[in-house]
């Protein structure tokens, strides 16, 4: 990274002078490099990656803007671009901490308000990424068709190319055919979703305001966001209490939760391998047992 070139590029994007007084690498990411900058703009958070990451950074900026318009506190996007063969995204730096009871409850209320608004079709105006996996968002009017064709089928196809365990392809195909059975008596509306809402993508400011980041937004069934909050943990009970008080979950959520999290298990298999493929197969078999 040529920092002089980068500073000049950021200055051009901002339309004013920009300089970095100090910088330190920030760990924790698995896709891009991250930096905490002490700059003439104040503290900033910088992501950098190869030129091919530019579309991902554009998608992230688009998602953050959408969540912000929906009333969610997110890091402000300051500038983005490509310099010297490296893509970059400059964000507002926020001093974050974990979700305690108070912040969790506030996040539950905020997410319920976001999910309570319905607009448009299922999908999004652009494709984006779930982790580093391309996520197709071509809009459809039918949620079951969207879940089948834009979410589960592409991940199953990738899994078949990435060493899926024996039986996953057949079980996955059976599940795709059985999808309508999971939505009998339940008609979700197209809510704006964070899309990648595990515990690592939610935190809080010191005074308790919840913050979301690293989105993979689209319009879908609100239960898909809630399901992922339970996949890896990290959300306090107060989050669910506050959400349900504002926007109660449908009784069928307990079953559909596993259906929605199958998408993420498949994606983790495709990204990381390990035991995620076996978990996905077991999930398919449990889901099929509920509709046979």
pLDDT for res 28: 59
pLDDT over 90 (residue 220): yes
Residue 142, helix vs strand vs coil: coil
Last residue of a domain, one of 66, 92, 118: 92
Q: Which domain range does residue 14 map to?
A: 3-92
pLDDT digits (tens, 9 = 90+) for 256-290: 999 999 999 999 999 999 999 999 999 999 999 99
Q: Is the dihedral of CA 12, 56, 108, 221 positive or negative?
A: positive
Tell me if 211 sits within 8 A of 202, measured CB to CB. Answer: yes
- Whether 184 and 134 map to the same domain: the answer is yes
Burial class (CB in 10 A: 0-12, 13-18, 19+), 242: buried
Mean pLDDT within 25-54: 90
- Whether 248 and 200 map to the same domain: the answer is yes
- Whether 32 and 57 map to the same domain: the answer is yes
- Whether 162 and 284 map to the same domain: the answer is yes
For the chain, the domain total comes to 2
* Phi, psi dihedral angles at 41 (to 5 degrees): -90, 5
pLDDT for res 32: 84
- Whether 85 and 112 map to the same domain: the answer is no
- Whether 57 and 133 map to the same domain: the answer is no
- Whether 82 and 108 map to the same domain: the answer is no
Task: Name the pTM for this structure.
Answer: 0.96
- Whether 21 and 133 map to the same domain: the answer is no
- Whether 55 and 135 map to the same domain: the answer is no
Assigned token pair, 226: 């809630």
Mean pLDDT within 13-19: 96
Last residue of a domain, one of 75, 92, 109: 92
Catalytic residue numbers read 196
- Whether 139 and 223 map to the same domain: the answer is yes
Last residue of a domain, one of 67, 92, 117: 92
- Whether 45 and 127 map to the same domain: the answer is no
- Whether 203 and 68 map to the same domain: the answer is no
């Amino acid at each position: 990274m040529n920092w002089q070139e980068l500073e000049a590029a950021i200055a051009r994007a901002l339309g004013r002078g920009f300089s970095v007084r100090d910088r330190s690498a920030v760990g924790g990411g698995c896709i891009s490099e991250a930096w905490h900058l002490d700059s003439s703009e104040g503290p900033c958070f910088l992501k950098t990656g190869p030129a091919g990451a530019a579309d991902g950074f554009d998608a992230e900026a688009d998602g953050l803007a959408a969540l912000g318009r929906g009333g969610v506190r997110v890091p402000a996007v300051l500038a983005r671009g490509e310099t010297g063969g490296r893509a970059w995204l400059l964000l507002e730096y926020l001093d974050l901490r974990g979700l305690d009871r108070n912040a969790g409850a506030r996040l539950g209320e905020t997410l319920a308000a976001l999910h309570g608004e319905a607009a448009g079709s299922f999908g999004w105006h652009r494709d984006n990424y779930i982790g580093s996996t391309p996520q197709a968002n071509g809009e459809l009017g039918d949620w079951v068709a969207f879940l089948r064709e834009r979410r589960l089928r592409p991940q199953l196809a990738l899994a078949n190319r990435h060493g899926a365990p024996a039986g996953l392809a057949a079980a996955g195909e059976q599940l795709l055919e059985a999808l309508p059975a999971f939505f009998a008596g339940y008609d979700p509306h197209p809510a704006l979703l964070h899309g990648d809402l595990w515990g690592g993508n939610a935190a809080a400011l010191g005074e308790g305001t919840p913050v979301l980041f690293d989105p993979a937004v689209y319009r879908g069934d609100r239960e898909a966001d809630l399901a992922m909050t339970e996949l890896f943990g990290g959300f306090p009970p107060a989050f669910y209490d506050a959400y349900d008080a504002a926007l109660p979950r449908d009784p069928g959520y307990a079953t559909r939760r596993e259906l929605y999290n199958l998408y993420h298990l498949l994606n983790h298999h495709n990204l990381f391998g390990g035991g995620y493929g076996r978990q996905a197969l077991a999930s398919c078999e449990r889901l099929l047992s509920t509709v046979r």
